[in-house]
């Protein structure tokens, strides 16, 4: 997984209130040119409102919506593709397809930028943002309520909480103020990277990993077969000897990359592994 080291920016709209006033009618042709925005749009809007989403991989829930709504186009996000769909609202990310976004703004087409969340609370803000833009604010609140209920009581019980470490590409580990850290916090685990002073993303040496004595090592599904990450670390003699008692878990990348209601499953899978005897 590519480290998300860019600082989170507060929720804001790329278009002005004058360009998209609060009394505007519910949009009829919404296009998303961002994978993470896709996930929220497909959950919160009516399929008949969605003219297009990106062609990139989706969660099972999102694919289920697409299977039932064959009229939703999958696009790469080019300016030509978006204009051909005649949108009255476009969802974008902060840092992707910026050329397309700038052109759409010049054309007077409303664009809503969906931030990359670093916590579940920020996921809730994104849900409110997209639900309101789609014209169904109550759906956002309902989804938030479902997530809060699913996460209630997820914290660790009596006894010392396990020390957990996410191991990512090129030796990066997520520390404080990252989405991975919030997953660990809600699951009741200690983020070893945070306890060793890493804020956002940093590198942890082999010696530091051994010194920290993690109880659980986490990898993502898209890295599990990469010798440079999972294979080389776990096959290293020092790791085998020094962390022989540490458990490992592989989490689906789609539960971590965007931060969406699907990410609740990451907490559940982590807790299941933490509770294994």
Residue 19, pLDDT above cutoff 60: no
- Taken in order 252, 121, 113, 199, the sign of the CA dihedral is negative
Determine the angle formed by the axes of helices 179-187 and 264-274, rounding to 10 degrees.
50
Residues in Cβ contact with 174 at an 8 Å cutoff, skipping those fewer than 6 apart: 3, 166, 168, 180, 181, 191, 193, 198, 200, 201
Residue 219 has pLDDT above 50, yes or no: yes
* pTM exceeding 0.85: no
CB distance 87 to 30 below 8 Å: yes
| CATH number among 3.30.450.40, 3.90.1150.10, 3.40.50.1980, 3.30.460.80, domain 163-274 | 3.40.50.1980
Minimum mean pLDDT range among 75-84, 213-222, 237-246, 268-277: 237-246
% of the chain at pLDDT higher than 70: 81
Report, as an integer, the average pLDDT of 63-76: 90
Give the pLDDT of residue 249: 87
Average of pLDDT values for 133-145?
97
Q: How confident is the model at residue 3 (pLDDT cuts 50, 70, 90)?
A: very low
Q: Mark out the alpha helices in 79-205 (DSSP H runs).
A: 79-84, 98-106, 120-134, 137-151, 179-187, 192-195
**Which of 4-13, 147-156, 186-195, 202-211: highest mean pLDDT?**
186-195
Nearest to 74 by CA among 60, 51, 53, 89: 53
Report the mean per-residue pLDDT for the chain. Answer: 83
More confident residue, 38 or 205: 38
**pLDDT surpassing 60 at residue 8:** no
Domain at 30-150: CATH code: 3.40.50.1980
CATH 3.40.50.1980 maps onto the chain at 30-150, 163-274
pLDDT of amino acid 30: 98
The dihedral through the CA atoms of 196, 201, 205, 209 has a sign that is positive
pLDDT surpassing 80 at residue 211: yes
Predicted pLDDT of residue 27: 96
What is the token pair recorded at 73?
Answer: 């186009």
- Please report the pLDDT score of residue 273 as a whole number: 87
Q: Average pLDDT in the 153-180 region? A: 83
Confidence at residue 76, expressed as pLDDT on a 0 to 100 scale: 92
């Amino acid at each position: 997984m590519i480290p998300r080291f860019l600082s989170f920016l507060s929720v804001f709209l790329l278009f002005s209130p004058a360009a998209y006033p609060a009394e505007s009618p519910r949009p009829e042709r919404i296009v998303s040119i961002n994978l993470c925005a896709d996930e929220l749009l497909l959950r919160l809007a009516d399929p008949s409102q969605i003219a297009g989403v990106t062609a990139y991989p989706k969660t099972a829930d999102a694919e289920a919506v697409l299977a039932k709504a064959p009229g939703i186009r999958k696009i790469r996000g080019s300016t030509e593709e978006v204009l051909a769909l005649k949108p009255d609202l476009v969802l974008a990310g902060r840092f992707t397809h910026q050329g397309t976004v700038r052109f759409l703004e010049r054309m007077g087409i409303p664009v809503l930028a969906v931030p990359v969340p670093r916590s579940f609370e920020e996921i809730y803000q994104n849900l409110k943002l997209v639900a309101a833009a789609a014209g169904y604010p109550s759906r956002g609140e309902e989804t938030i309520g479902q997530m809060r209920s699913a996460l209630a009581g997820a914290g660790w019980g009596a006894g010392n909480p396990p020390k957990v470490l996410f191991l990512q590409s090129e030796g990066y580990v997520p520390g404080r103020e990252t989405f991975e850290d919030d997953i660990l916090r809600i699951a009741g685990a200690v983020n070893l990277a945070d306890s060793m002073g890493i804020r956002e993303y940093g590198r942890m040496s082999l010696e530091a990993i051994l010194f920290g004595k993690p109880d659980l090592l986490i990898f993502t599904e898209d890295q599990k077969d990469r010798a440079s990450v999972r294979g080389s670390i776990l096959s290293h003699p020092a790791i085998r000897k020094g962390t022989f008692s540490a458990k490992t878990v592989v989490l689906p990348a789609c539960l971590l990359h965007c931060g969406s209601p699907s990410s609740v499953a990451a907490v559940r899978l982590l807790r299941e592994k933490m509770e294994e005897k």
